[in-house]
Structure 1
Amino acid sequence: MWCSPIPILLSSELAGRGRDRSALARAARPGGELVRILRGAYVQRHDLRGLSRSQVHRAKVVAARLTGALDGAVLARESAAVMHEIPLVGDIPQQVQVVRLGRDGGRSSAGIHTLRAGCDFQTVLDDGVPVASVAQTLADLGRRRPLRDVLAGFDAMLRAGRVTKEAIAAAAPKRSRGRPRLCRTIEAADPNAESPGESLSRAVMIEHHLPLPALQEPVRDQRGGLLGRVDFIWHEHGVIGEFDGRVKYGRELTGRPVEEVLLAERRRELDIESATGMRVVRWLWDDALREQGLLEILAGAGIYPSY
Structure 2
Amino acid sequence: MEDHLAHGVFDEPFIGSWALAAGAVTRHELRHDFDRVAPDVYARKGIQLDVTGRAKAAVHWTKGEGVLVGRSAAALLGSAYVDADQPVEIALPRHRRPPPGITVIQAELTRGERCEVHGYPVTTPPRTAFDLARRLPRDQAIPALDALCRATGLDPSTVLSFADGHQGVRGCARARAVLGLVDPGAESPQESLTRLLLIDHGLPAPTTQIVVRDHGGEFLARLDMGWERWQVAVEYDGAQHWTDTAQRTKDIDRLAILAEHGWLIVRVGADLLRNRPYIVIDRVLAALNAHGVHLDPARAS
Structure 2 partner of 1:163: 154
Alignment CA distance shift 1:70-1:170 (3 Å): farther
**In the alignment, what sits opposite 1:99?**
91
The question of 1:205 aligning with 2:193 is answered no
Residue in structure 1 matching 2:259, options 273, 282, 299: 273
Between the aligned partners of 2:247 and 2:125, the Cα distance in structure 1 is 36
Shift of 1:4: 12
Partner amino acid, structure 2, of 1:275? H
CA contact (8 A) 2:39 2:61 kept: no
Question: Does the CA-based 8 Å contact 2:266-2:283 persist in structure 1?
Answer: no
Percent identity between matched residues is 25
Instruction: Establish whether residue 192 from structure 1 lines up as the match of residue 175 from structure 2.
Output: no
Q: Distance in 1 between matches of 2:13 and 2:37?
A: 9
State the 1:215 CA deviation.
2.1
Shift of 1:60: 1.7
1:267 deviation in Å? 0.8
| Pairing 1:182–2:175 present | yes
Q: Which among 268, 279, 283 is matched to residue 296 of structure 1? A: 279
Distance in 2 (CA, whole Å) between partners of 1:70 and 1:162 is: 31
Q: Show the counterpart of 1:233.
A: 226
- State the match for 1:39 in structure 2: 39
Q: Match of 2:292?
A: none
SS in 2 for 1:171: helix
Greater CA deviation, 173-182 or 296-305?
296-305
SS of residue paired to 2:210 = strand
Where structure 2 has 5 or more consecutive residues not aligned to the other structure, the ranges are 1-7, 287-296
TM-score, normalised to structure 1, is 0.70
Structure 2 Cα separation of the partners of residues 164 and 4 of structure 1: 37
Cross-structure match for 1:254: none
Whole-angstrom CA distance in 2 between matches of 1:198 and 1:5: 38
Conserved 8 A contact 1:74-1:99 = yes
Inter-CA distance 37–202: structure 2 relative to 1 (3 Å threshold):
farther
Change (3 A) 1:260 1:130: closer
- TM-score, normalised to structure 2's length? 0.72
User: Partner of 1:117 in structure 2?
Assistant: 107
Quote the Cα distance in structure 2 between the aligned partners of 1:183 and 1:115.
Answer: 22
The Cα of 1:187 is off from its aligned counterpart by: 1.4
Any conservation in 2 of the 1:58–1:82 contact (CA below 8 Å)? yes
Q: Does the residue aligned with 1:190 lie in a helix, a strand or coil?
A: coil
SS of the residue 1:149 aligns to: helix
- 2:58 and 2:41 map into 1 onto residues whose CA distance is 8
- Counterpart contact for 1:87–1:196, Cα < 8 Å: no
Q: 1:18 aligns with which of 3, 6, 28?
A: 28
Q: Distance in 2 between matches of 1:191 and 1:180?
A: 21
The residue type paired with residue 57 of structure 1 is: V
Q: Point out where structure 1 has 5 or more consecutive residues left out of the alignment.
A: 25-33, 49-54, 250-256
Which of 57, 60, 64 is the aligned partner of 1:63?
Answer: 57
What secondary structure sits across from 2:183 in the alignment?
coil
Residue pair 1:151, 1:185 contacting (<8 A) in 2 also:
yes
CA deviation profile, 1:110-144 (whole Å, cap 9, x unmatched): 24432132554711122333211111011001001
**Change beyond 3 A, Cα 1:20–1:43:** closer
Q: Does 1:244 align with 2:237?
A: yes
Go from structure 1 to structure 2 and tell me whether the alpha carbon gap of 1:119 and 1:4 turns closer, same or farther (over 3 Å shift): same
**What is the aligned residue count?**
274
- Measured in 2, the distance between the counterparts of 1:193 and 1:241 equals 12
Q: Say if 1:237 and 1:302, in contact at 8 Å, map to a contact too.
A: no
Q: Single out whichever of 143-152 and 215-224 deviates more from structure 2.
A: 215-224
2:285 is paired with a residue whose SS is coil
1:196 offset after TM fit, Å? 3.7
Q: 1:57/1:4 Cα in 2 relative to 1: closer, same or farther (>3 Å)?
A: farther
